[in-house]
Copies of this chain bind each other. A is one copy, B any other.
Amino acid sequence: MDGFQEKLAATAGRIGSALDALLVLEPRQGEIARPERLMAAMRHGALNGGKRLRPFLVLESAALFGTGENDAMPAALALECVHCYSLIHDDLPAMDDDDLRRGQPTVHKAFDEATAILAGDGLLTLAFELLGSEACHRDAAVRSDLVVELAKAAGLGGMVGGQMFDLQAAQDSPDEAAIGTLQAMKTGALLRFACEAGAMLGGASPAERVTLRTFGEKIGQAFQLADDILDVVSDEAAMGKRVGKDEAMGKGTLVGILGLEEARRRADRLVGEAEALLSGFGHRADVLKGCARYIVSRQQ
């Protein structure tokens, strides 16, 4: 591991601990009770050793504007809850029908389908509670704004819509532009939100907010290209999930359309563009730039 990966792993550990402390059986004020089985399923889906890339980006983007890790953590956790919910629902038999996720049984395999659906619903709902709560930010206008932006990124015009397009892709054979739209929605929107949320938490200027948002869009596109490349060249053991699946299902991917070499070139170009966007921040943005490079060089 290089320096960046060590930092990511250490932060992922703290994010995991914070999620662990969040997902407890004790009901909070205003709640009635928390069912044990549901909580166990939510924990299974959320505490399975993910890379925590999205919350990491929230924390690092916020740090760029002087906001400390503890202050940015609730919003970071909210985003990770949304990511984990999306994995639980995407893995369901009616959707991508995956039995393995990060080398472990998916939630509906470890529990059952009904519990998995509810665990996803619970994590999605919890995300908005976290963003709306005072601990997220002292300024209620920032909290409301985060709620709206996450809802747009995660909803029918973002991630959920992207999953819908993805389910239709096997029939529709989307062209390059349609794949771009699908990926910008399914994966890009949350990565974009991650970076923009940090700027919002840190009180960035409107111009800085656009910069971070655009940085998130670029690395989101690079991330998806890297994912498509890994789906072709990687093996199941390294990924902890099925690979070669897009091709097997007849879904067009950018790698299929562009070829492996051009896909790699584009990913590298996007990372270069993303890094350039942050040039005005000097060395303070080194971690975010390292994250951009990591996104295309990762092996899983």
Contact = CB atoms under 8 A, between A and B. Distances in A.
Interface of A: 27-28, 30-35, 37-39, 42, 89, 92, 94-95, 112-115, 117-118, 120-122, 124-126, 128-129, 131-134, 139-141, 143-158, 160-165, 167-168, 181, 184-185, 189
B147 A128 contact: yes
A115 B33 contact: no
A37 B122 CA distance: 25
A124 B81 CA distance: 14
B157 A145 contact: no
Contacts of A154: 125
B161 A38 contact: yes
B155 A30 contact: no
Contacts of A145: 132
Nearest to A31: B157
Contacts of A125: 124, 151, 154-156, 160
A30 B149 contact: yes
The SS class assigned to the A binding surface is helix
Contacts of A152: 28, 30-31, 129
Contacts of A143: 140, 144, 147
Contacts of A133: 144, 148
A129 B148 contact: yes
B121 A89 contact: yes
B156 A39 contact: yes
Given A132-B147, A140-B144, A114 B167 contact: yes
Nearest to A143: B144
B163 A118 contact: yes
Q: Which 4 A-B pairs have the closest CB atoms?
A: A31-B157, A132-B147, A129-B151, A94-B113
A132 B132 CA distance: 9
